Structure formats: structure tokens, C-alpha cells
Amino acid sequence: MTESTKKEKLKEVFLESGIPVKPVYTRKDVEDCRMEEELPGQYPFTRGIHAEMYRKRPFTIRQYAGFASPEETNERFHFLLENGQTGLNVAFDLPTQCGLDSDSPEAYGEVGRVGMTVDSLEDFEIAFQNIDLNQITVSLTINGAAIVLIAMYFALAEKWGYDISQLRGTAQNDILKEFIGRGTWIFPVDKSVKLVVDTIEYCAQHVPKYSPVSVCGYHIRESGANPVQEMAYAFCIAKAYSDGSLRRGLDIDEFASRLSFNFDIHGNFFEQVAKFRGGRRLWAKIMREEYHAQNDNSCWLRMIAGGGGGGLTKEQPENNIIRSAYYALVSALSGTQTMALCSYDEAYTIPTEKAAELSLRTMQILIHETGVCDTADPLGGSYYVEALTSRFEEEIREEMIKVEAWGGIEQAIETGKIQESVSRQAYIRETGLQQGTIPKVGLNMFVREEEAKPVDFHPYNEEAANRQIAKVRRLREHRDNAKVNKLLAHIREDAMADRNLMPSIIAAVKEYATVGEVIGVLKACYGKFQEPIFI
């Protein structure tokens, strides 16, 4: 047999992003790469944003958790602080996420179901009771109603006498990805972006240590996008927020270092590593070459990269423990700043404590036993990884150009182009999984008969929901309604005059205007998003 016929017999391999993979990579494949000049901590940061990376400080572990009431959240905060932890992700229920009060008819059956309910500042006062806001960093997982919740957090801090110029914390506040996946949008696209830019501008001027936006490729990927699209769409979104902020007269270095990213890990190991390395290089170049950022930290792709639920299966769920360990390894080898993992039982139920502990231990074993923290970018210099890194940089850039051809990210979302491209891919992937062309152990290969899994939700606590409803009704009776109405009118005026809404929203929520009332005023001014239907 000749060498060439032997080669033909090897099966072709393509990554999920469509990139072909050779059977072997050599020096020739990296001739165009400038890998010998690249160093961790140096522009364009392909090898990591810090020189010493985890040798100096390992990645942060941050798990997501939801608690139904402000009272429970407060208990949890105290527990965490007593155990030496300093951060918590706060999940909100769907009415809060959609800007509805607990007593709104649309909220029926949803109050406190998937996270904490917040109607007014009163709820924040309970949630953060006896907590030193300088000691903790709170991450608010909120998008559609983000401006109100961020304003409420600042209002609380001011009311309690904190200097907000020193206040730290983060908000997800990435509304553009909500139109692509997750779906808690409220206002039309342009007005939605305006509100995000209001928070960026306000923070740059008054709360400079706060991270007002975490751009989420994660949910875009979970909705069906391939790894190239995950990065490309996230970068287009981050650029849209940056462009809006520049139009306000801000300098790129005044806000770029406070933008962070949230990415997803599942699928091909090397594809993910290259995605992050190539993405980091490209983002740095975009910031420096297109936006002329002077500061290095404006060019950093700061990220949380975690094992995504999209890679886990309900079948043979223990396999997810192994998958998650690989995802965690990818995340560490990709130089993430923060890591989170889905629990192995999360594909079908509320994570048990045991499962949540296993996720934590997976990351701790990685940090303390495997040596991944000893040296920065241990995969740097691998022919395959470096070649793929450069390929990813190119592919992401090309995908971004495609979005430009659709009229830019905002228009592509308004017309549904992005949503359609993502959901079509979700269909192709699902069909591939069900037909077995995309291999998945336990799902379409090495399958065994299994007992039905105990799919479960937290039982709905109707009593607690009713208490919350009574609380907001009582509040409306006892607050100074004349004052509240005047302050809501201010928000309306500012919205109509296209001014930054943060000051008037902070003033209104301080007097206990509710989330639903503030969002209601904005709905009356801006209208609602008309979802493009392409099916």
C-alpha cells in the first residue's frame, strides 16, 4: 500500500466550528504564528492576561445558587461570610427578571420559583441586613430589569452610608444575548442597549470599581451556537456596548477594563482551548487597534469560563462527573479568571448538596493536585494548539464580518438573523445527537437500560409567594406615594429627553418605587420588543 492510499483511509475530522483537523501538526503549521514572541501578561495576551497566572493566585471558584426569598439570601450571606467566602451570585425569580411586581397578574405562579424576589428596596434591605457591603462582592444575575436592580444596589449602599466610589460587585446586564437565548428581554433592541450604556456611563463616573456588564457567550452557545459564533457574537455585543459608551463621550480606557465575559465549555477539548486563546488575542487587538485603548487592562479578555449544561446528559448521569472534570481542565488550561461547573445531576433535577460539593471538589483537586497552576499557559507552543489558536482568531473575525453584513449585531437581532442561525444549529445538533452522528456516551453509544430519573423542582411555596405579595401591597400603602409619583415622573422625563436614567432611578427606588413601577414607566416610553418569528 502506498503512503497516499493509507492517508485516504483515515477518516476526516472537522471541529464543531467546521475547522478541519490534520492527523499531525508540525513546525510548518505554526510558521506564521509569532508564538515565540508571545508571553503571558503581555499584549496581545494570547497566553493569559497575567504574567504569573495561577502561580500567583489560582482561578476563583464561583458557583451559582438561587434562594427564593430575601430572608433566605440574607441567611446564606451570613453563612458564607462566617466560612470565609466573600462572593455570591444572586439569582432572581422570573417576575423580577422580567420587571414585574409580585402582585402583577402575569407573575402568578412564578413568585420566588427560580430565584430571589425583589419588588422594592425593602427586599434588598432584608437581603443585605447586617452585611458589610465592602466585605462582599455581589453578582446580580439580571438583564432585562438590570438597570433598576443595579440602581437599587447603589441606593442601598448610599442609604447605608457607604462611599459608592469604593463599591465593588458585578451585574450580568447583557441584554443583547437575552434576545438570542434565555429570553428575558423587555424593550426594543436600541432602547435596551441605551439602558446598558446608562449603567456603564454611570459606573465609569461614580462607581468605578463596579463591573456593570458581563457579556455572555455562554447562553448563546447553550442556545445552539458553535464555539466560533459564541465568541464572535459576544465580541459584537461587547463592541455595541462600547460604541454606545464612546458616543456618550467616555474614553475607552474609562470603562473597557470593567467589561468582563462569561463563556461556555463543552465539546472538543482543543477547540475550546483554541477558542479562548485565539479569542483573547483577537479581543486585545480589537481594543488596541480599533478602539485605541492605551491601558493594557482595557485589552484584557477577563472571563468566567465554566462547564456548560449543554454537554451533560440525563442518561448515565455519573458520566457528567467525568465530563465536568475535563471541562474544568480545559478552563484552567485556557487561563480563565473564574470557574463554575454545572452539577452532574443538573441535567434533570435540582442539584443535590452532594452533587454541588463534587463540583467544588473537582475544581479544588484541579488547583491543588494536578499542577495546572504551577506554570502559565502550559499548552503554549504546541503545534496543534498554536495553529488552531491562530485559525480561531481568523474564524472569529470572519464571523464578526458576517454580522456586519447583516447590518450589525443590533439589526441582526431585530430581524432575527442571529436567532435563526443559532436555533437552526441547535436543531442540527439535536438531530445529530438523536441519530448518533454526534457521539455521546450513554446517550447514543454504550447505552444501557436505566431507571427513570427523579426529575424534580423545588416545590412551589405558595405561602411565601403570598407573603411577598402582601409585603409589596403593604409597602404601597405606607410609603410617601406623592413623592414616589413625582420621582417616577422624573424617570419618564429623563427617558423622553434621552438622558442617563441612573440618577432618577436611584432617587425613585430610594423612596421605594417598585421594580414593576419603574419598568412600567419605561415600557410606556419605549414600548416592547417585537419578537421576530422565523419559524
Partner 1 sequence: MKILLSKPGLDGHDVGVKVLAYALKDAGFDVAYTGLRKSVEEILEMAQKQQADVIGLSILSGTHLIIAEHFRNCMKERGIQIPWVVGGNIPARDVDPLMKLGPDKVFPTGTQLKEVVEYFKSLT
Answer yes or no whether residue 413 interacts with partner 1 by CB under 8 A: no
Answer yes or no whether residue 114 interacts with partner 1 by CB under 8 A: yes
The residue among 24 and 535 lying less far from partner 1, judged by its C-beta, is 535
Answer yes or no whether residue 110 interacts with partner 1 by CB under 8 A: yes
Answer yes or no whether residue 426 interacts with partner 1 by CB under 8 A: yes
Answer yes or no whether residue 456 interacts with partner 1 by CB under 8 A: yes
Answer yes or no whether residue 222 interacts with partner 1 by CB under 8 A: yes
Answer yes or no whether residue 181 interacts with partner 1 by CB under 8 A: yes
Residue 44 in grid coordinates? 496581545
Any residues with CB less than 8 A from the CB of 371 and at least 6 apart, and which? none
Answer yes or no whether residue 498 interacts with partner 1 by CB under 8 A: no
Among 32, 56, 78, 108, binds partner 1 (CB under 8 A): 108
What three-state secondary structure class fits 380?
Answer: coil
The residue among 317 and 380 lying less far from partner 1, judged by its C-beta, is 317
Q: Per-residue x/- mask for partner 1, residues 7 to 46, rule CB under 8 A? A: ----------------------------------------
Do 135 and 167 contact (CB within 8 A), yes or no? no
Pairwise CA distance, residues 328 & 57, whole Å: 17
Kindly state the smallest distance separating residue 241's Cβ from partner 1, in Å.
21
Answer yes or no whether residue 452 interacts with partner 1 by CB under 8 A: yes
Answer yes or no whether residue 527 interacts with partner 1 by CB under 8 A: no
Contacts of 462-467 with C-beta under 8 Å, sequence gap 24+, read 464/68, 464/69, 464/111, 464/112, 465/102, 465/111, 465/112
Among 47, 62, 177, 182, binds partner 1 (CB under 8 A): 182
Q: Per-residue x/- mask for partner 1, residues 356 to 375, rule CB under 8 A? A: --------------------
Strand partners, 445: 441
Q: What is the DSSP letter of 20?
A: B
Among 178, 346, 399, 517, binds partner 1 (CB under 8 A): 178
Answer yes or no whether residue 457 interacts with partner 1 by CB under 8 A: yes
Nearest CA to 419 out of 403, 404, 396, 433 is that of 403
Kindly state the smallest distance separating residue 535's Cβ from partner 1, in Å.
4
Neighbours of 513 (CB within 10 A): 28
Kindly state the smallest distance separating residue 67's Cβ from partner 1, in Å.
16
The residue among 110 and 271 lying less far from partner 1, judged by its C-beta, is 110
The residue among 24 and 452 lying less far from partner 1, judged by its C-beta, is 452
Among 86, 165, 294, 431, binds partner 1 (CB under 8 A): 431
Helices 417-435 and 227-247: angle between axes, nearest 10 degrees: 160
Nearest CA to 371 out of 324, 332, 325, 335 is that of 332
Among 40, 95, 380, 442, binds partner 1 (CB under 8 A): 95
The residue among 14 and 534 lying less far from partner 1, judged by its C-beta, is 534
Answer yes or no whether residue 129 interacts with partner 1 by CB under 8 A: no
Helices (H), 248-352: 252-255, 269-285, 319-333
Among 223, 260, 262, 320, binds partner 1 (CB under 8 A): 223
Query: Which range, of 175-183, 361-369, 494-502, 507-515, touches partner 1 by CB under 8 A?
Result: 175-183
Chain centre to alpha carbon of residue 406 = 24
Answer yes or no whether residue 445 interacts with partner 1 by CB under 8 A: no
Helices 189-206 and 227-247: angle between axes, nearest 10 degrees: 70
The residue among 461 and 500 lying less far from partner 1, judged by its C-beta, is 461
The residue among 342 and 400 lying less far from partner 1, judged by its C-beta, is 342
Sign of torsion, CA 453 455 458 459? negative
Kindly state the smallest distance separating residue 361's Cβ from partner 1, in Å.
27
Pairwise CA distance, residues 300 & 503, whole Å: 30
Answer yes or no whether residue 113 interacts with partner 1 by CB under 8 A: yes
Residue 491 in grid coordinates? 424617570
Answer yes or no whether residue 434 interacts with partner 1 by CB under 8 A: yes
Do 199 and 171 contact (CB within 8 A), yes or no? yes
Answer yes or no whether residue 439 interacts with partner 1 by CB under 8 A: no
Pairwise CA distance, residues 358 & 367, whole Å: 14
Question: Residue 501: exposed, middle, or buried by beta-carbon count in 10 A (0-12, 13-18, 19+)?
Answer: buried
Do 390 and 32 contact (CB within 8 A), yes or no? yes
What three-state secondary structure class fits 397?
Answer: helix
Answer yes or no whether residue 318 interacts with partner 1 by CB under 8 A: no
Answer yes or no whether residue 226 interacts with partner 1 by CB under 8 A: no
Neighbours of 360 (CB within 10 A): 13
- CA distances (Å), 454 to each of 247, 321, 352, 442, in order? 52, 18, 12, 18
Answer yes or no whether residue 317 interacts with partner 1 by CB under 8 A: no
The residue among 178 and 230 lying less far from partner 1, judged by its C-beta, is 178
Kindly state the smallest distance separating residue 42's Cβ from partner 1, in Å.
40
Q: Rule CB under 8 A: which residues touch partner 1?
A: 94-95, 97-98, 100, 106-110, 113-114, 178, 181-184, 222-224, 314, 348, 423-424, 426-427, 430-431, 434, 452-458, 460, 531, 533, 535
